[in-house]
Amino acid sequence: MKIGIASDHGGLDLKELVKEILAGHDCGVLDLGTDTPESVDYPDYAQKALSALACGECDRIVLVCGTGIGMSICANRIPGVRGALCHDAYTARMSRLHNDSNCLILGGRVLGPAVAQDIVRVWLTTPFEGGRHQSRLDKIEKLAGNIIRDRSCT
């Protein structure tokens, strides 16, 4: 499995740790930056990873910023991306089992290394259950188009 990874300056240290974790699970890693602690704008790095996912350059992506909130907002604006901001192994597990998340989002300033390691391990190894959950994902994909078509506000 090939995993793309990107962060802003607030997620840089955790991004480097996650790269090591991914490599330990025999994943190919596509590092899309940042590589510096200088302040950068997280949407720029989210875009790089989201584009890599959309173009098939990687199977899944990991996004990291200070809290994970900004990256989460970016990721979930893109059709087909199921970004999950996870704070523990349970949320990581459920994001895969029920939501088939293809984008793990972490907060570099809110997670310790041991918790992050558990989250990544669980997210990588948990399969999607499918079944009734697939029909819900199908509804999510239709949601954006329905909202735009049904918009009657003037």
pLDDT tens, position by position, 87-113: 999 999 999 999 999 999 999 999 999
What pLDDT is attached to residue 141? 84
In the chain, what are the domain boundaries? Answer: 2-129
% of the chain residues with pLDDT over 70: 93
Average pLDDT of 16-43?
97
Place of tokens 């990873």: 49
Task: Give the pLDDT band of residue 60 (cuts 50, 70, 90).
Answer: very high
With beta carbons less than 8 A apart as the criterion, state whether 50 and 58 touch. no
Q: What is the pLDDT of residues 120-144, one digit of tens each?
A: 999 999 999 999 999 999 988 888 6
Query: Is the pLDDT reported for residue 52 higher than 90?
Result: yes
* Cβ neighbour number for residue 61 with a 10 Å cutoff: 29
Which neighbouring-strand residues pair with 135? Answer: none
DSSP 3: E
Q: Is 98 a catalytic residue?
A: yes
Give dist(CA 22, CA 16) in Å, integer: 10
**Strands ordered across the beta sheet of 28-31:** 28-31, 2-7, 60-65, 103-107, 83-85
Burial class (CB in 10 A: 0-12, 13-18, 19+), 68: buried
Catalytic status, residue 65: yes
The CATH homologous superfamily to which domain 2-129 belongs is: Sugar-phosphate isomerase, RpiB/LacA/LacB (3.40.1400.10)
Q: How many residues in the chain?
A: 154
The pair of three-digit structure tokens given for residue 135, joined into one six-digit string: 């029909």
Q: Model pTM?
A: 0.94
What the block records as the tokens of 66 is 């200070």
Cβ neighbour number for residue 133 with a 10 Å cutoff: 14
- CA distances for 48 relative to 12, 34, 95, 116, angstroms: 15, 10, 22, 22
Residue 153 binned pLDDT confidence (cut-offs 50, 70, 90): low
Bridge partner residues of 83 (DSSP):
103
Question: What is the structure's pLDDT at 140?
Answer: 86
Which of 27, 65, 74, 103 is catalytic? The answer is 65
Report pLDDT for 147: 63
